[in-house]
Amino acid sequence: MAALITGLRTSDVRFPTSRELDGSDAMNPDPDYSAAHVVVETDADDGLTGHGFAFTIGRGNDVQVAAIRALESAVVGRPLEAVLDDLGAVWRELVHDSQLRWLGPEKGVVHMAIGAVGNALWDLKAKRAGKPLWQLLAELSPEQIVELVDFRYLSDALTPEEALDLLRRAEPRRAERVAELLRDGYPAYTTSPGWLGYSDAKLRRLCRAAVDQGFDLLKLKVGADLDDDVRRLRIAREAVGPDVRIAVDANQRWDVPTAISWIRELAPFDLWWVEEPTSPDDVLGHAAIASAIAPVRVATGEHVANRVVFKQLLQAGAVSVLQLDATRVAGVNENLAILLLAAKFGVPVCPHAGGVGLCELVQHLAMFDFVAVSGSTEGRVIEHVDHLHEHFVDPVVVRDGRYLAPRRPGFSAQLRPEALRDHSYPDGRVWAGG
Amino acid sequence: MAALITGLRTSDVRFPTSRELDGSDAMNPDPDYSAAHVVVETDADDGLTGHGFAFTIGRGNDVQVAAIRALESAVVGRPLEAVLDDLGAVWRELVHDSQLRWLGPEKGVVHMAIGAVGNALWDLKAKRAGKPLWQLLAELSPEQIVELVDFRYLSDALTPEEALDLLRRAEPRRAERVAELLRDGYPAYTTSPGWLGYSDAKLRRLCRAAVDQGFDLLKLKVGADLDDDVRRLRIAREAVGPDVRIAVDANQRWDVPTAISWIRELAPFDLWWVEEPTSPDDVLGHAAIASAIAPVRVATGEHVANRVVFKQLLQAGAVSVLQLDATRVAGVNENLAILLLAAKFGVPVCPHAGGVGLCELVQHLAMFDFVAVSGSTEGRVIEHVDHLHEHFVDPVVVRDGRYLAPRRPGFSAQLRPEALRDHSYPDGRVWAGG
């Protein structure tokens, strides 16, 4: 008997991060980092399970769980190997389900639910192959990678043939880059010092600590109050000196004209990039901001709903740094499309991470990009926040400002059983106060 | 004691429309028109309730209901009059809830849930005032209307001052237009003949019937097969003659290059507009298509997630016909913003309707637009599909190709109790087969 997918086990997991103001920014004053978590269960003899999640920041995580459950009938009962052998077809089927599609299309909780389930299937596929996901992906042929991507709505910017060309150009030196990755890791930057809720003293201390830990790029939240931003940037710049790069993140706080005038006030502090200056839907707005604030560079992506919006940001020259997110779009397959688009337009991908578990996931995508797509770490860096990693079975390891390549099989998405149990909302120990 | 909002009563209501292929198009072969319905309950002496819903097409309607429930804690227990007196503030509070916002932002089921609840509050406000919603809105001062709109992310295209100017220009002749509306109604067009699932004979018969019923614009679904489209357009054009306008609707089926070549093949049939040629997120794609197929005009809107995307479609000259939807965005307040944007750019609004209950809702928005915003019905028309109106307490009335202005208090969103009961999913009579 061929093994079947037997269930999607979902959990509403929330971490009470708002109690410490970790993660506070101009739009998100009190996030409780959460995961709508899913485990793909099978009756295969290997006993392996696939883990995935959508990251949210608290209220509504239950809606996200409900959206994952709505995919149950499309996945459960299907033959495991056939599903894992053709994750491109599974992606198309889930994303283009005509009735569920109405709820987006291709955006919001339904799209993120497809991402969670898709990522869990990739986790399972990698575990069964005995490889970390980045390596599994990096060993696929260019043809196999292109087969995983849905080019619908992309063909005016990127055709399958162009994607194939890109991948073939990167192919000859894959082994060399794998060796480099295993030896040196992948560059990281840190957001830990810069949350808005922190005092000036804490900001100064954490900036110095970040440099001591080997980071040469750190990021500060801005956008709530201009005087505060100027003061905090001065403190940070004094703390780290002129050679460490500082990026700022406005978390969508501004309208276009405000963004332009505000950023001009902050530009003297030598900004590496300005992140999420306005609505993530505003392609033309980002283009207007980018052209007005050049040479300061615009970054965005963590709230960009899908590959179609990324395509336009690239077409319009609206972003100089593309920040894909592992759980915002519909999982690995859509992120393959986004990596290929970025490579086509020559824009570096610097993934969004932090939250809970996002660092664990995006490292695989960035490392795959290095080995098999862009072939470079030049101008590329993965966000790191030193936070909540202890809850994962295979947590990230960052040393001297670099992510070490994960070696365990899978997508590093698996929460520890006690983390799932204690943070289950609303009945877990952490929430029930028991 | 001031009256309180005491509850949000939700229902998952689905109509088995897929059994008849009503509503079939190139992307939606078998929709079951559905409503995630909500009733706002209060303890006021008047016993009035507010009704609203998000329209979906079947699977996932339960997720939409879950999203509405997630808003319960933000609404229930609040003083009724204070809420209804400041629906602008309530909108901002719901849309900018920092935790729920993460699930969009401002798109997908959470945004639509805010639309459903917001529309229900408007229904209640209009009932308490004893007026149909269009009239209630049309009697607000320009200042009151501007107060209802959130200009966040819009100010590069429309400022509150510009909106005020627009509204003030339309103000002097409001009474005249109300009289005209009550006398003549508002122009309608029909989509009933053109579903893809219908036979050629049924298409021909329904086209003739539409003209006999007084419609001078009808719409056909296209996009699945070019030869079929040419044949069906020929049948329709022969059936209605050269003077009746024919629009076509591709329901997002095409990539940009395909859209351009396909539309060029159909252009000889004299197309009034081409609707949803590609992804609703693709502002630049719509702009490219619009410029390539001119003078054929591009229409879109039913899947446009929010006012920020509409803003860009207008800025880019990507649409010549703006098709707002009553339940896709966050309700009346956001649609006020969209009407003002369209007026600023001089683009006619022709609302998307059909589905279940959408005709009932959008007529109020179009009529308000005529009286108080654009001041014109020139080039404007409301979609009409003769379908499922019998389930509403206050159904639309279309005579001689025109919507008659509704006279009953409220937003016409209230389903009949037996419709709610029989179509409740999965236990109602229609679904349980009882």
pLDDT one-digit tens code per residue, A56-66:
999 999 999 99
Cβ contact B287:B262 at 8 Å: no
Residue of A nearest to B104 (CA): A108
Count how many pairs of residues, chain A against chain B, have C-beta atoms within 8 Å: 191
For the domain A171-419, what is the CATH code?
3.20.20.120
> Which chain B residues are closer than 8 Å to A306 by Cβ?
281
* Predicted local distance difference test score (pLDDT) of residue B28: 78
- CB-nearest partner of A103 from B108, B152, B288: B108
Preceding omega of B105 cis (within 30 degrees of 0): yes
* Predicted local distance difference test score (pLDDT) of residue B36: 98
Q: How far apart are CA A311 and CA A95, in angstroms?
A: 18
Mean pLDDT for A324-345 is 98
Q: How far apart are CA A322 and CA A304, in angstroms?
A: 10
Q: Distance from B151 to chain A by nearest Cα, in Å? A: 9
Q: Do B255 and A153 touch (CB under 8 A)?
A: yes
Of chain A, the percentage scoring pLDDT greater than 90 comes to 94
Residue of A nearest to B28 (CA): A98
Cβ contact B247:B300 at 8 Å: no
Q: How far apart are CA B328 and CA B106, in angstroms?
A: 10
Q: How far apart are CA A244 and CA A169, in angstroms?
A: 33
> Which chain B residues are closer than 8 Å to A110 by Cβ?
60, 63, 108-109
ipTM, two decimals, is: 0.97
> Which chain A residues are closer than 8 Å to B316 by Cβ?
284
Mean pLDDT for A169-175 is 98
Question: Token pair for residue B166?
Answer: 């627009």
Q: Distance from B47 to chain A by nearest Cα, in Å? A: 31
Q: Do B57 and A99 touch (CB under 8 A)?
A: yes
Q: Do A98 and B315 touch (CB under 8 A)?
A: no
Residues of A serving a catalytic function are 221, 352
> Which chain B residues are closer than 8 Å to A66 by Cβ?
62-63, 66
- CB-nearest partner of A100 from B32, B60, B280: B60
> Which chain B residues are closer than 8 Å to A252 by Cβ?
105
Residue of A nearest to B277 (CA): A153
Q: Which residues contact residue A208 at a Cβ distance below 8 angstroms, ignoring those fewer than 6 apart?
A: A239, A240
Residue of A nearest to B155 (CA): A255
Q: Distance from A135 to chain B by nearest Cα, in Å? A: 31
Q: Which one is catalytic: B286, B311, B352, B364?
A: B352
- CB-nearest partner of A109 from B108, B151, B311: B108
* Predicted local distance difference test score (pLDDT) of residue A274: 98
**What pairing do the DSSP bridges indicate for beta strands B382-384 and B217-221?**
unpaired
Substitution target from A12, A95, A103 for chain B, most B beta carbons within 10 A: A103
Q: Distance from B129 to chain A by nearest Cα, in Å? A: 33
Q: How far apart are CA B248 and CA B293, in angstroms?
A: 14
Residue-wise pLDDT for A16-46, tens only, equals 998 876 677 877 788 999 999 999 999 999 9
Q: Which one is catalytic: B107, B127, B221, B384?
A: B221
* Predicted local distance difference test score (pLDDT) of residue B195: 85
* Predicted local distance difference test score (pLDDT) of residue B29: 80
Q: How far apart are CA B304 and CA B312, in angstroms?
A: 11
Substitution target from A99, A100, A158, A311 for chain B, most B beta carbons within 10 A: A99
* Predicted local distance difference test score (pLDDT) of residue B1: 78
Mean pLDDT for A375-389 is 96
- CB-nearest partner of A98 from B27, B111, B151: B27
Q: Tell me, yes or no, if B221 is annotated catalytic.
A: yes
Q: Do A103 and B102 touch (CB under 8 A)?
A: no
Cβ contact B329:B335 at 8 Å: yes
Contacts 24+ apart (CB under 8 A), A42-46: A42/A3, A42/A4, A42/A5, A42/A6, A42/A80, A42/A124, A43/A3, A43/A4, A43/A6, A44/A3, A44/A80, A45/A3, A46/A128
Helix (H) or strand (E) run with residue A299 in it:
strand A298-300
Q: Distance from A313 to chain B by nearest Cα, in Å? A: 10
Mean pLDDT for A376-390 is 96
Cα dist from A86 to A5, A90, A147, A155, B85, whole Å:
14, 7, 9, 22, 55
The mean pLDDT of chain A is: 96
Task: Give the DSSP letter string of A340-389.
Answer: HHHHHHTPPB-----TTTHHHHHHHHHHHIIIIIS---TT--EEE---SG
Q: Distance from B204 to chain A by nearest Cα, in Å? A: 27
Task: Name residue A62's amino acid.
Answer: D
* Predicted local distance difference test score (pLDDT) of residue A13: 98
* Predicted local distance difference test score (pLDDT) of residue B238: 97
Residue-wise pLDDT for A207-233, tens only, equals 999 999 999 999 999 999 999 999 999
Substitution target from B72, B161, B279 for chain A, most A beta carbons within 10 A: B279
* Predicted local distance difference test score (pLDDT) of residue B197: 83
> Which chain B residues are closer than 8 Å to A102 by Cβ?
28, 31, 56-58, 60
pLDDT at A427 over 90: yes
Residue of A nearest to B284 (CA): A312
Q: How far apart are CA A12 and CA A378, in angstroms?
A: 38
- Tens digits of pLDDT across chain B (434 residues): 799 999 999 999 999 998 876 677 877 788 999 999 999 999 999 999 999 999 999 999 999 999 999 999 999 999 999 999 999 999 999 999 999 999 999 999 999 999 999 999 999 999 999 999 999 999 999 999 999 999 999 999 999 999 999 999 999 999 999 999 999 999 999 998 888 888 999 999 999 999 999 999 999 999 999 999 999 999 999 999 999 999 999 999 999 999 999 999 999 999 999 999 999 999 999 999 999 999 999 999 999 999 999 999 999 999 999 999 999 999 999 999 999 999 999 999 999 999 999 999 999 999 999 999 999 999 999 999 999 999 999 999 999 999 999 999 999 999 999 999 999 999 999 999 75
What's chain A's length in residues? 434
SS3 for chain B, per residue?
A: CCCEEEEEEEEEEECCHHHHCCCCCCCCCCCCCEEEEEEEEECCCCCCCEEEEEEECCCCHHHHHHHHHCCHHHHCCCEHHHHHHCHHHHHHHHHCCHHHHCCCCCCHHHHHHHHHHHHHHHHHHHHHHCCEHHHHHHCCCHHHHHHHCCCCCCCCCCCHHHHHHHHHHHHHHHHHHHHHHHHHCEEEEEEEEECCCCCHHHHHHHHHHHHHCCCCEEEEECCCCHHHHHHHHHHHHHHHCCCCEEEEECCCCCCHHHHHHHHHHHHHHCEEEEECCCCCCCHHHHHHHHHHHCCCCEEECCCCCCHHHHHHHHHCCCCCEECCCCCCCCHHHHHHHHHHHHHHHCCCECCCCCCCCHHHHHHHHHHHHHHHHCCCCCCCCEEECCCCHHHECCCCCEECCEECCCCCCECCCCECHHHHHHCECCCCHHHHCC
Q: Distance from B328 to chain A by nearest Cα, in Å? A: 9
> Which chain A residues are closer than 8 Å to B32 by Cβ?
99
> Which chain A residues are closer than 8 Å to B341 by Cβ?
none
Residue of B nearest to A18 (CA): B99
- CB-nearest partner of B305 from A27, A156, A281: A281
> Which chain A residues are closer than 8 Å to B110 by Cβ?
60, 63, 108-109
* Predicted local distance difference test score (pLDDT) of residue A204: 97
Q: Distance from B69 to chain A by nearest Cα, in Å? A: 9
Question: Token pair for residue B207?
Answer: 């086209």
* Predicted local distance difference test score (pLDDT) of residue B258: 98
> Which chain A residues are closer than 8 Å to B107 by Cβ?
104, 107-108, 281, 305
- CB-nearest partner of B59 from A70, A151, A315: A70
Q: Do B257 and A315 touch (CB under 8 A)?
A: no
Q: Do A105 and B303 touch (CB under 8 A)?
A: yes
